């Protein structure tokens, strides 16, 4: 019925936080979303602790000055760079925001997973002029270095931290970020279907009763 795996979402957030967030933003996701139903469902205390790990520039205060404060659940995930120009200067290009990438890219999560695990040595007959070889990337030359290596992220629940598993988990998390209300919509759709089936049954028996009375 289209539900998310809570443990996979939590592991996926950890991969995003420790690996992807070094270069990529998720500007449409706020820390409070991590505790909402249908998502990773961290406790209120956990959400506050995760948000407090970042520092946010806020203000102005009464004197007109900007100031820094610990992050709060209302804050969005921080961008690793202050502006697109800084990101382009550091990396050579502006990394994609990952908030909606699971829905906006052709192939969706299947493509994202394949991209993450698709790094290989270039074939002998392939001229790799720049970047890295990825068999699933268009043209097979990609500027982004392989982001995942076995054992890179420690999983507290004991799940094997292989490249394959980390790719599956972070893609699952990106899917939730793009469709945070998926479970709610599916539940509503299921309830509507039940209602329509019951209504159809009532109308059917009502019509039979009407026709029976006429004969």
Convert the pLDDT of each residue in 92-151 to its tens digit: 889 999 999 999 999 999 999 999 999 999 999 999 999 999 999 999 999 999 999 999
186 — pLDDT class (breaks 50, 70, 90):
low
pTM of the model: 0.84
Closest by alpha carbon to 167, among 101, 106, 114? 114
Distance CA 80, CA 103 (A): 22
CB 184 within 8 A of CB 2: no
Over range 44-67, report the average pLDDT. Answer: 95
pLDDT of the residue at 48: 98
Q: Hey, where are the domains in the chain?
A: 6-29+76-180, 187-215
| pLDDT at residue 138 in the model | 93
The pLDDT assigned to 193 comes to 75
Identify the CA nearest to 164 among candidates 179, 151, 177: 151
E strands, 126-185, are 132-133, 141-142
- Choice between 197 and 142, residue whose per-residue pLDDT is larger: 142
pLDDT at 189: 61
Q: Is the pLDDT of residue 64 over 70?
A: yes
Looking at residue 183, what is its pLDDT?
A: 66
Q: Provide mean pLDDT across the span 20-29.
A: 97
Residue 34 near residue 17 (C-beta atoms within 8 A): no
Q: Indicate the CATH number for domain 6-29+76-180.
A: 1.10.760.10
Question: Is the per-residue pLDDT at 16 higher than 60?
Answer: yes
pLDDT confidence of 57, banded at 50, 70, 90?
A: very high
Instruction: State the virtual CA torsion across 165, 168, 174, 176 in degrees, nearest 10.
Output: -110
pLDDT band of residue 170 (cuts 50, 70, 90) is very high
Instruction: Please tell me the distance from the alpha carbon of residue 169 to that of residue 192, in angstroms, as a whole number.
Output: 31
Q: For residue 61, count other CB atoms closer than 10 A to its CB.
A: 9
């Amino acid at each position: 019925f289209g539900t998310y795996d809570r443990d996979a979402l939590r592991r996926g957030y950890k991969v995003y936080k420790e690996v992807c967030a070094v270069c990529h933003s998720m500007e449409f996701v706020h820390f409070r979303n991590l505790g909402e139903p249908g998502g990773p469902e961290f406790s209120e205390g956990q959400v506050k602790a995760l948000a407090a790990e970042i520092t946010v520039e806020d203000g102005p205060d009464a004197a007109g000055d900007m100031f820094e404060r610990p992050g709060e659940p209302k804050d969005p995930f921080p961008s690793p760079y202050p502006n697109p120009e800084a990101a382009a200067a550091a990396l050579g290009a502006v990394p994609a925001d990952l908030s909606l990438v699971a829905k906006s890219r052709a192939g969706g999560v299947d493509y994202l997973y394949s991209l993450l695990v698709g790094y290989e040595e270039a074939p002998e007959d392939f001229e790799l002029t720049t970047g890295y070889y990825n068999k699933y990337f268009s043209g097979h030359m990609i500027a982004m270095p392989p982001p995942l290596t076995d054992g890179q992220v420690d999983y507290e629940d004991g799940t094997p931290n292989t490249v394959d598993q980390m790719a599956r988990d972070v893609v699952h998390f990106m899917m939730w970020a793009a469709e945070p209300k998926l479970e709610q919509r599916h539940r509503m759709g299921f309830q509507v279907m039940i209602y329509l089936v019951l209504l159809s049954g009532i109308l059917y028996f009502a019509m039979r009763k009407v026709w029976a009375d006429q004969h």
